[in-house]
Structure 1
Amino acid sequence: MTIKVGDRLPSATLIKVTENGPDAVQTDDYFAGRKIALFCVPGAFTPTCSARHLPSFLNKIDELTAKGIDEVACTAVNDAFVMGAWAKQAGADGKVTMLADGNGAFAKALGLDADFGKFGMGTRSQRYSMVVDDGVVKALNVEQPGAFEVSSAEYMLEHL
């Protein structure tokens, strides 16, 4: 079953990328009492994710904050080391919190996992963005396969 607006995020463990290394984060704790713009990419360093999706949020952080977003976070079915390297390469360190979903358990719990096997990537997550307020999904923007339209920071800002 796919998560929908009004649902509470499932309990899961993600790995937060920090300057001191990987740090396990429980979703119940991480999303509690805050309004977070979360977006998910099928894979770090992939073309659309690197050229458009992550940059859209980097370029709009101030505007998102001005509209009440406490933090911007990105998740992907990649390990924490890959997410950390991508953050450094993209200039996202200290701006976007990288949350690794290395085994895809969070994507599966959301019902947003997807088979990218034909691209040699295995099971990943669909591309999406969501606004999470105190652990509850307030907005959910899931892309059609191969598209990049409704999961951008620009789209999110238009609907906040």
Structure 2
Amino acid sequence: MKTGASLPNVIFHTRVRDEAVGGPNPYRWQDMTTAAYFAGKRVVLFSLPGAFTPTCSTYQLPGFENGFADFQNQGIDAIYCMSVNDSFVMNKWAEAQGLKNVTVIPDGSGEFTRKMGMLVDKDNLGFGFRSWRYAAIVNDGKIEAWFEEPGLMDNCPEDPYGVTSPETVLNWLVAANSEVAA
């Protein structure tokens, strides 16, 4: 997947809070499509190896969360964080991170990630299949800009991070918007 490509059409199995469910776990299943998330919007999508992991929880997710207003000022409608984790894990991670601005998308089976060409084996860490770290500016379901950490491979001994940082993505947006204004 690269600039100009359309996102793959998949169904994401999510859990959403619904007080009508009652009890200590008031959530219900809600299937969401790629179009439901991306149609008619300009968004930042970033995908990472796993919820609750160090780089993801300390730098990448908080950076996008805290910089949301800066992204909005550059014409971004939403920021989505995707991981090959189920909805239960993603919702708990969002809660633990105190998210208000970033929406988490569970790719529990890895179908979207596989179709993006970013599914990698991380058995060396006991993770199984996960996403390689990438980010994209997506405009109405089409990739406008693509950011991918170097060294895409199975069982990578490192976790490269930098190309997909919030700062890098925001700098690209600022530069792109400056070119349009000139």
Q: Aligned residue for 1:4?
A: 2
Residue 96 (1) aligns with residue 96 (2): no
Alpha-carbon distance between aligned partners in 1 of 2:39 and 2:137, rounded to the nearest angstrom = 13
Q: How does 1:5-154 map to 2 (within 5 A)?
A: 5-20=3-18, 21=27, 22-92=29-99, 94-145=100-151, 146-154=159-167
How far apart are the structure 2 equivalents of 1:155 and 1:122?
28
Identity %: 39
* Equivalent position amino acid for 1:61 in 2: F
The AA in structure 2 aligned to 1:118 is N
Quickly say closer, same or farther: Cα 1:52–1:36, change in 2 above 3 A: same
Write out per-residue CA displacement over residues 24-63 of structure 1, whole angstroms, 9 at most, x where no aligned residue.
1110232111001111110000111111110110111000
Match of residue 155 from structure 2: none
Normalised TM-score (structure 1): 0.94
Task: Extract unaligned runs of 5+ from structure 2.
Answer: 19-26, 152-158, 174-182
Which structure has more relative contact order (CA 8 Å, sep 6+)? It is 1
Matched, 1:157 2:155: no
Question: CA–CA distance in 2 between the matches of 1:23 and 1:152?
Answer: 30
TM-score scaled by length of structure 2: 0.83
Aligned residues: 157
Greater C-alpha radius of gyration = 2
Change (3 A) 1:50 1:103: same
- Tell me if structure 2 keeps the 8 A contact 1:17–1:100: no
In the alignment, is the contact (CA less than 8 A) between 1:39 and 1:74 conserved in 2? yes
Runs (4 or more) in structure 1 with deviation over 6 Å come to: none
Q: Is the 8 A contact 1:79 1:102 kept in 2?
A: yes
Query: Counterpart of 1:66 in structure 2: which amino acid?
Result: N
Conservation of the 8 A alpha-carbon contact between 1:77 and 1:124: yes
How far apart are the structure 2 equivalents of 1:29 and 1:87? 20
Which range moves more in the overlay, 106-115 or 138-147? 138-147
Between 1:140-149 and 1:59-68, the stretch displaced more is 140-149
